[in-house]
Amino acid sequence: MNSFAWTVVDSGIGPLLLAATDDGLVSVVFHARAEVRDRALGQLAARLGRAPAEDATGSGLLAEPIRELAEYFAGRRTEFGLTLDWSLASGFNRQVLRELADGVPYGTVVGYGDLADRVGRAGAAQAVGAAMGSNPLPVVVPCHRVVESDGGLGGFGGGLETKRKLLALEGVLPQPLF
């Protein structure tokens, strides 16, 4: 395949850019309005060494990710069954993200330090934070479930309001009143 498929879908947290290769879903990008979308597509093309090909109908490689994300945002899915292309994550970051994907279920949270412990790197909470910031597959690989040990939300690439909405959707935080 000389290209990767992409589309933008609406979600409960705004437009998401989804990108997939033959190996699986490779990227999810928050706030995918025109400027963000175009910049993300350029970065993906450079990193993947492939040209973007829009899948406007969502009938190809993106059909299953679109369906599962729609079910998640509608409250009908608590676990993703998608094939993921991990080519945009490597080393420690990939190890941490895989542990997060496999070991922190819907409706739960984990501390940065606890996640570091789980991958055998006690004291590496800041490195875990950096791994969360580089997550190419947010929502599906649930970096929104990683919080500070004192109960604070911590950071989030999609913005704290987006993190709050995802945690409220999963029942971890109360739904906002507005």
Distance CA 14, CA 149 (A): 28
Contact 128, 148 (CB under 8 A): no
Between the alpha carbon of residue 90 and those of residues 56, 59, 67, 127, the distances in Å are: 30, 29, 27, 13
End-to-end CA gap in the chain: 45
Contact 68, 80 (CB under 8 A): yes
Q: What angle separates helix 125-133 from helix 91-103, to the nearest 10 degrees?
A: 90
Between the alpha carbon of residue 45 and those of residues 52, 77, 86, 87, 92, the distances in Å are: 6, 31, 15, 13, 23
Q: Which of 28, 143, 167, 169 is catalytic?
A: 143
Question: Is 143 considered catalytic here?
Answer: yes
Catalytic residues: 143
